[in-house]
Structure 1
Amino acid sequence: MHTQHFIPVDEFCASHSIEMTFISALQETGLIDMTTIKETGCIPANQLPQLEKIVRFHYELDINLEGIETIMHLLQQIYDLQADMMALKNRLRLYEDQEG
């Protein structure tokens, strides 16, 4: 793994004016993954969009961690269903093209 693909937690917290304990709580609940690089907690860069969404839910909409867990679970279900629907549409198109 290359360190350029990780963002130090303290930098993220400073730039978003949030407490590091909030990030720790997110990790404990399994909402985000963290890794330690040279004794510094880091977040994978690919998790930034999700983490920023979670920060907005909590700090702008005042949603607690349990509510955020529920929202993230429901959003994942929606994304999964959309992917399934797209796959089914593609299969249907394939069969329609064969008939025509």
Structure 2
Amino acid sequence: MTNENLIPAEEFCTNHRVEFSFINSLYEFGLIEIITIRQTAFLNQEELPKLEQILLFNKELEINLEGIEVIIRLLERVDQIQNEMTILKNKLRLYENL
């Protein structure tokens, strides 16, 4: 990971009107990664879609952090299952063509 992919957490908080303590709570729940360089907190650019989804759950749907954690874990599990299904379908096609 290069520094080009990092966004200052404070900048994200300012742009999205959210307190840094909320971002820190997400980190403590294990939902996002915070990278600290020279006492400055950064967010990985790849995590922005997930972070924005979490903000939507929290602000628009008024879901607390515990609920967000459950939702995110379930969505990750669904994605994992879909990937496994794709792999299994591809293997099945190989056997069907024999």
TM-score w.r.t. the length of structure 2 is 0.95
State whether structure 2 residue 10 is matched by structure 1 residue 34: no
Q: Any residues of structure 2 matched to 1:10-89 within 5 Å, and which? A: 10-89=10-89
Q: Which amino acid is 1:56 matched to?
A: L
Spell out structure 1 runs of 4+ moving beyond 4 A: none
Structure 1 residues 27-76: Cα deviation after superposition (integer angstroms, max 9, x where no partner): 01111010112321001111111111111110111000000000011101
CA distance in 2, matches of 1:3, 1:80: 29
Q: Identity rate of aligned residues, in percent?
A: 47
Q: Which amino acid is 1:71 matched to?
A: I
Whichever of the two has the greater Rg, that structure is 1
- Unaligned runs of 5+ residues in structure 2 are none
Deviation at 1:17, TM superposition (A): 0.8
Deviation at 1:12, TM superposition (A): 0.4
Deviation at 1:80, TM superposition (A): 0.8
- Unaligned runs of 5+ residues in structure 1 are none
Aligned residues: 98
Q: What is the aligned-residue RMSD (CA, Å)?
A: 0.9
Q: Which amino acid is 2:16 matched to?
A: H
Contact 1:3 1:37 survives alignment (8 Å) = no
CA distance in 1, matches of 2:8, 2:37: 9
TM-score w.r.t. the length of structure 1 is 0.93
